[in-house]
Structure 1
Amino acid sequence: MKRYILHTPFNIYHFEATTWMHAVHKHTYFEIIFILKGHGIHNINGNTFGYSEGDVFLLGPEDYHDFTIQESTEFCFIRFHESLHEHSAGDKDTPWQPIIKTLLTTSSQSRGTIVEDKQEKQKLHYLLTVLEEEYKRDQSPYFAIIRDSLLRSMLMILARNLFSHSLANSQTTDSVEAILMYIRQHIYQPGKLTIDHLADVFHYAPAYISLFFKKQTGESLKQYIIKYKIKLIEARLLYSSLNLAQIADEFGYTDESHLCKQFRKYTGSTPSDFRKRG
């Protein structure tokens, strides 16, 4: 799978298309994708989401995607490296930094557009308009300060919408969405996904958190974690050149053999056979 590289800390890519010309790909950077008009399908990490005017997506370096355009679509991509927000003068240890850090390290693409409220979409589009105007003067000595402020505001609005969505769900499901988000965020750190650790983080008894999770989702906590991990491994096998030892190490398996055994149990195929068929 091709991985696109961004050679500058930041850029804006604004265009209109009737046909999507790029194959499924990843990036070395983050993207905020604005749909300014049109509609179609956005394929992200093996999931399919409809898109339409006003939708906003946030993708990270490990997300892979492409579009199926059904009506001429105007896109605007804001592309930036994570380090961009870490070097704003005088902003170290400020309250917004951990919020944005959490946003950028939490997979938001188990769903479609991050923002659903019309007014929230309008706020983001106003910020985008100002940012694009300032980008025309990117040689100005003030550009970096204005860019960082506008980008930070965008990310804070995205964080508010993503995390308030989870909070709203947690009020009706007693925090199962928070558990799901935590699992997605720490899927590469098996030590943080043990029953005892999750119970400690979410203030449940170890025996109760498993029962609670199954009641809310219909699936055991252990099974969900394994199946989610297997789906990510399938993507690695299909779209990366990593060998089995590297994948095993990435996902915290003790060795390649352990990965192969669990993968075959849940898919009926060995990782090597799965990769060949893909």
Structure 2
Amino acid sequence: MKRYVLHSPFSIYHFEAETWTHSVHKHTYFEIIFILKGNGVHHINGNAFQYAEGDVFLLGPEDFHHFDIQEPTEFSFVRFNESIQKQLPGDKERPWQPVIRNLLNTSSQSRGSIVTDKQEKQKLHHLLAVLETESANDQSQYFEIIRDSLMRSMLIILARNLFSQTPGKPVTKDSIEAILMYIRQHIYRPEELTIEHLAETFHYAPAYISLFFKRQTGESLKQYIIKHRIKLIEARLLYSQLTLSEIADEFSYTDESHLCKQFRKYTGATPTAFRMRM
């Protein structure tokens, strides 16, 4: 089964369709799917759910799905991974963080649309409208702050609605979703992302975990980690005033030179040239 990969922490995909052109697939990321108009059937994990204007779905990396569109449908897919809610080392945990963590660690798609209350749907769709407007100016120095606040509000509203229902199934320790989540949570500590350490953490042989990851994602474990790190560094270069030395330190590179060498290998440009060009 095809698995779509997202290396950046966040993206929005807004489109209209009369027929669904994507095959059944999984992801390396989470996505909130908004139905802005239209109706049809959303097939998720082998179950079929009628969808209509206003519905909101939350999918995790291990959820597989496709749509049967019965009436031309306008979608907005908000794609993200855990790094968008990063907690800096030493920061005190905020009350909302365990709520969002529990939401993302709970399989929700045996239920179809998470939100059934009309007012709750309207709140989420209003937040989406603001998020899409702000995303059009994503090079603003304020964009990340506003984006994260809006995403946090969306996720807490989804959690409030989901947890009023029957508890779902947690992420299993040995799933590819658990490995992807672990990588994103530890991307700033490369010593915890070696093949040997990951194999020990997930109780696999080092050779097997590499094969398992490649089979599940279509991408090698090492390449996924590097590309994910590079995308986060690109975001730092675009949306922060951090120096190269500070970025290198944040991502635990041995020095600025090592960062520049790897960044240029994967992007074709030096970090300085990338920042100036963008």
TM-score range normalised by the length of the shorter chain: 0.5 to 0.7
Q: Secondary structure at the match of 1:126?
A: helix
What is the TM-score normalised by the length of structure 2?
A: 0.61
Correspondences of 1:65-84 after superposition (within 5 Å): 65-84=65-84
> Would you say the 8 A contact 2:105–2:171 is kept in 1?
no
* Matching residue of 2:48: 48
The amino acid that maps onto 1:144 is E
SS of 1:109's equivalent? coil
User: Conserved in 1, the CA contact under 8 Å of 2:115 and 2:121?
Assistant: yes
CA RMSD of aligned residues (A): 2.0
Distance 1:52 1:13 in 2: 19
Amino acid at match of 1:44: I
CA distance in 2, matches of 1:83, 1:91: 15
What code does the residue aligned with 1:42 have? H
Distance 1:25 1:54 in 2: 23
C-alpha displacement at 1:82, in angstroms?
A: 1.5
Equivalent-residue separation in structure 2 for 1:40 and 1:73 (angstroms) = 8
- Count, aligned residues: 177
Aligned partners of 1:88 and 1:148 also within 8 Å = no
Question: Could you say which residue in structure 1 is the equivalent of 2:195?
Answer: none
Query: Residues 51-109 of structure 1: CA distance to partner in whole angstroms, max 9, x if unpaired?
Result: 00000000001110000000000000000011211247996400000000000000000
Mark the CA change 1:144 to 1:101 in structure 2 (over 3 Å): closer, same or farther: same
Amino acid corresponding to residue 125 of structure 2 in structure 1: H
- Provide the residue aligned with 2:247 in structure 1: none
Name the CA distance, whole Å, in 1 between partners of 2:23 and 2:128. Answer: 26
> Which structure would you say has the larger Rg?
1
Gaps of 5+ in 2: 175-213, 217-278
CA contact (8 A) 2:107 2:171 kept: no
Gaps of 5+ in 1: 167-176, 190-239, 243-278
- SS in structure 2 at match of 1:97: helix
Match in the other structure for 2:170: 185
1:20 alignment partner in structure 2: 20
Q: Which has the higher helix share?
A: 1
1: CA distance, partners of 2:58 / 2:145: 22
1:27–1:83 CA distance, 2 compared to 1 (3 A): same
TM-score, normalised to structure 1, is 0.61
- Do 1:107 and 1:185's aligned partners in 2 also have CA atoms closer than 8 Å? yes
Partner SS for 2:94: coil
Map Cα deviations across residues 155-178 of structure 1 (whole Å, 9 max, x no partner).
0000000012x2xxxxxxxxxx34
What whole-Å deviation, never above 9, does each CA across 1:151-206 have from its counterpart, x for those lacking one?
00000000000012x2xxxxxxxxxx34xx3xx116558xxxxxxxxxxxxxxxxx
**What is the 5 A alignment of 1:188-267?**
188=173, 241=215
* CA deviation vs aligned residue, 1:28-67 (integer Å, no higher than 9, x gap): 1000000000000000011110100000000001110000
What amino acid does structure 2 have at the position aligned with 1:7? H
Does structure 1 retain, via aligned residues, the 8 Å contact 2:16–2:74? yes
Name the SS for the 1:121 alignment partner.
helix
